[in-house]
Structure 1
Amino acid sequence: MSSQIYGEPYVEATNNSSNESGYASGASSSSSQESLPEIYFTKAHLKFLNSRLAKLEPQDILQWCVTSLPGLYQSTALGLTGLVTTDILSKMDGPLKPSVDLIFLDTLHHFDETLDLLNRVKKRYGATVHVYKPEGCDTADDFAAKHGQKLWETNDELYDWVAKVEPQNRAYADLQVKAVLTGRRKSQGGKRGDLDILEVDDNGVIKVNPLANWSLAQVQEYINANNVPTNALIERGYKSIGDWHSTQPVAPGEDERAGRWKGRTDKSECGIHNPKSRYAQFLRQQQLQQDAQLSQALQDMVVADA
């Protein structure tokens, strides 16, 4: 039996008048069919899809996404790769013209230039942007009052959690996100060197990296050819831009993301794409314990009814 990536195991439908064919469809109304997962991949299927998608250009990958994946959004920090994705989507036409909303995590510590770019992107593309901030905070002062001064220095993993991961999880829950487009590429270096086009995280959310196989030169060529709006900091030597307190310009010859958490050899991801962070593992363990407790309670009910 193949390993599951997401969804429930198939349960054979019972014979009844509303399900004579024995097959589920979008119009089916029986309870067994309503319980079918929205998106389901086995490991073998995921491997097969990646082997095929890796041969396609980003435009074709994105066309597959808007055709195949419900609940599709683009999560963006307005980096170069994500901006290319937004531009490509805006130019797709035809009977399946996409309408992919953007999710932007406002950590309250972005550069002013990044927030200016957000406004330019909204104006240029007419995009619907869902902005999520740290829970209970609207300004940097609110954040400092709630979490202390310079939390990114005193506890960087907790900072990643409250400023980025928790708002992302809240966005996914609020918006019923099933699949998300990211701006990650292999050529960015670090842990992204073996990136696949298609991934599934521990929560069952599908992550698509449509430009995973592009180089920075290809990204820049597209941006120049299509007059894509970019962050003004790019012209000052910044290549990958995050919060002002943990982003520096990149020196010639350095990796694209070398300016993020510069000097930290143990850190290359913020937590959004790092499921092995201490806080992510803690929450995952909590979920496993809750699942085990629920399973035991159900078993106890069966025994009691026997």
Structure 2
Amino acid sequence: MASNDTRMETGSQSSSGDHGSVDSGFVSPSSSTVDLPRISLTRAHLKHLNKQLEALDPMDVLRFCRVFFPQLYQSTAFGLTGLVTVDMLSKIDAETPQLPPVELIFLDTLYHFQETYDLVERVKARYNVKVHVFKPADVETTQQFEQLYGEKLWETSSELYDWIAKVEPLERAYSQLKVGAVLTGRRRSQGAARGSIDVVEVDEERGVIKINPLANWTFAQVKQYVTENQVPYNALLDQGYKSVGDWHSTVPVGEGEDERAGRWKGQDKTECGIHNKKSRYAQFLEQMARQKGQEVPAA
């Protein structure tokens, strides 16, 4: 295959494992994707794809992705952008009821605001959408979590908290659901590491395609859509919040502050880990194991 080709394969990985001509995509499928139709995108084709999608309305981006990408899910914490995506998908479902709906992945850290849990139920009732809930491994309640890891783990070991409460549950979701591609609520106007995201990205470490359908929308555009389409939203947004995560690391946003300024205020971080390189957490686990004199776990 020439280096500019794009190919789509079905079935398990070739025994030869020769994907050397593929620059980007499902080059080395993980166990969660090995039995799926595989999309292998060269860097040139990915660039071309993003150039075309950049000019489309988010609804058209979603229409394309719903047909093109196998095993498509939406990962959401039920923020405004994710809610807009849910609403748009419901309209697309009405256009093409013969296609399977996009189901949701929700990471329940056990520390969400009650308003967030209430919103999840409202969304399920409004859109009749299936929500797959993933919690930290081996626990069901906050009490059980703190019995295992102590109180305020997010303060005593922020990296470990992110791994246990968010990163590992998401990777478990990808594996159990055999996720091939996932819709996110990230936008460039949110700033920091999100300021230069493409519409379609390849997470080669986790073996999934990440799609940011509203990448080029502003907060004002998102809010306008929510208002005009009467999309249910988190009650905290009427109290000065703009981006809502765990109650222990989220505060209202001040006048003139960035949209995500209320997340991890005063800390040197802008992401919870699920959109960072997996290797960062693999390295953290290795460091923790070395400190305890244990065998280093497989990443």
TM-score (norm 1): 0.81
Corresponding residue of 2:50: 50
> Which segments of 5 or more consecutive residues in structure 2 lack a partner in the other structure?
4-20, 29-33, 288-296
1:199 corresponds to 2:231: no
Q: Flag the 1:36–1:90 CA change in 2: closer, same or farther, 3 A.
A: closer
Matched, 1:223 2:223: no
Q: 2:272 aligns with which of 258, 263, 270?
A: 270
How big is the shift at 1:280? Answer: 3.9
User: Alpha-carbon deviations, 1:101-152, whole Å to 9, x = none?
Assistant: 0000000000000000000000000010000000011011111011111110
TM-score by length of 2: 0.83
Aligned pair in 2 of structure 1 residues 41, 79: CA closer, same or farther (>3 Å)? same
Tell me if the contact between 2:181 and 2:209 (Cα under 8 Å) persists in the aligned partners: yes
Tell me by how many angstroms 1:37 deviates: 5.6
Question: Does the alignment pair 1:146 with 2:152?
Answer: no
Matched, 1:7 2:8: no
8 Å contact from structure 1 (residues 157, 278) kept in 2: no
AA in 1 matched with 2:178: Q
CA distance in 1, matches of 2:45, 2:286: 25
Change (3 A) 1:115 1:35: closer
Equivalent position amino acid for 1:123 in 2: A
The residue that corresponds to 1:68 in the other structure is 68
8 A Cα contact 1:179 1:208, kept in partner = yes
Alpha-carbon offset, residue 4 of structure 1: 2.2
Q: Secondary structure at the match of 1:193?
A: helix
For 2:273, give the aligned amino acid: G
Q: Please give the per-residue CA displacement for 1:22-54, whole angstroms capped at 9, x wherever unaligned.
A: xxxxxxxxxxxx989611111111111111111
Q: 87-96 or 164-173, which moves further after superposition?
A: 87-96
Q: Which amino acid is 2:26 matched to?
A: G
Indicate the SS of the match to 1:39: strand
**Secondary structure in structure 2 of the residue aligned to 1:119:** helix
Q: Percent identity?
A: 60
Q: Aligned equivalents of 1:244 and 1:275: distance in 2?
A: 25
> Which residue is 1:111 aligned to?
113
Residue 257, structure 1, aligned to residue 260, structure 2: yes
Alignment check: 8 A CA contact 2:162 2:272 kept: yes
CA contact (8 A) 1:275 1:281 kept: no
Which of 109, 131, 134 is the equivalent residue of 1:132?
A: 134
Aligned to 1:178: 180
The alpha-carbon deviation at position 284 of structure 1 amounts to: 10
SS of equivalent to 2:201: strand
| Moved segments of 4+, more than 2 Å | 1-4, 6-9, 34-37, 93-98, 280-285
Q: What do you get for the CA RMSD once the two structures are aligned?
A: 2.3
Contact 1:70 1:178 in 2 (8 A): yes
Please list, as runs of the form range in 1=range in 2, the aligned pairs for 1:78-97 lying within 5 A after superposition: 78-92=78-92, 93-95=94-96, 97=99
CA distance in 2, matches of 1:126, 1:35: 29
Structure 1 gaps of 5+ residues are 10-33, 292-306
8 Å Cα contact 1:184-1:192 kept in structure 2: yes
Alpha-carbon separation, structure 2, partners of 1:147 and 1:248: 24
Separation in structure 1 between the aligned mates of residue 105 and residue 240 of structure 2, nearest angstrom? 26
CA gap of 1:102–1:36, structure 2 versus 1, over 3 A, is: closer
In 2, the alpha carbon distance for the partners of 1:177 and 1:243 equals: 25
| 1:135 and 1:167 in contact (8 A); partners too | yes
> Alignment length, in residue pairs?
264
1:271·1:277 contact (CA, 8 Å) conserved in 2? no
2:63 is matched by which residue type in structure 1? Answer: Q
Question: Could you tell me which residue of structure 2 aligns to residue 246 of structure 1?
Answer: 249
| Offset of residue 7 of structure 1 | 3.3
Contact 1:89–1:98 (CA<8 Å) still a contact in 2?
Answer: no
Q: Distance in 1 between matches of 2:109 and 2:35?
A: 37
Mapped pair 1:211 → 2:214: yes
Are the counterparts in 2 of residues 46 and 198 from structure 1 also a CA contact under 8 Å?
yes
CA contact (8 A) 2:22 2:41 kept: no
Cα distance in structure 2, aligned partners of 1:254 and 1:35: 46
Q: Deviations over 1:80-112 (max 9, x none)?
A: 000000000001133464500000000000000
